[in-house]
Chain A
């Protein structure tokens, strides 16, 4: 039961470096999300993809880009990492809009930017 798989689990970057966080789900869900979680801030939405081929900005999109590669995969890219992007990143997926719309989360990526 893989569910939502994120890679890598940990990453340390230097300021200005770039990297891509990968996310894949095997539940045939239409919608996928990227969140960041910081102490005292809860989960904040970075970008989401309601369905394959669409992406939309969330609450904190600056400094990030996303790609919905296909129905299974949704990646998050940091083009030029900054210390303010030190955080834990979670990918999530949900079947679609509607009453049964529960989000399922990956295990997270802990990112440190020095």
Chain B
């Protein structure tokens, strides 16, 4: 059965801390892994990773995929209160159009 597991389930940090969120997957015929940020409403796209070892970066956020370990991490440096959100990981297989989502990591950044 295809599945995506995220850890930790929730995290509370202080502003300025660095956090690492984890996503591991068991998906047949992996094609890509995506990270989304969900604040109050719709998930918004952050990164898509397809190749192992290549870091994607956007400001203080970065992500990398390890296809050997079937996992990905999302790093956020110098966290701000605006980073408080649920971070979702999704995996797309090579066949079909379905995406498999993890349950998400709830990040709270306190001043």
Contacts and interface: CB of A to CB of B under 8 A. Distances in A.
Interface of A: 4, 31, 33, 35, 40-45, 48, 50, 58, 90, 94, 96-97, 99-108
A42 B102 contact: yes
Which of B41, B44, B97 neighbours the largest number of chain A CB atoms within 10 Å of its CB? Answer: B97
Given A94-B97, A97-B97, A103-B99, A43 B41 contact: no
Given A107-B41, A107-B42, A108-B42, A99 B90 contact: no
Interface of B: 9, 31-32, 34, 36, 41-45, 48, 50, 88, 90, 92, 95-99, 101-104
A11 to B, nearest CB: 16
B11 to A, nearest CB: 15
Contact of A106 (B42, B48, B98): B42
Contacts of A33: 97, 99
Contact of A105 (B43, B98, B102): B43
Nearest to B45: A102
A58 B99 CA distance: 10
A45 B101 CA distance: 9
A27 to B, nearest CB: 13
B88 A31 contact: no
A24 B53 CA distance: 37
A61 B70 CA distance: 29
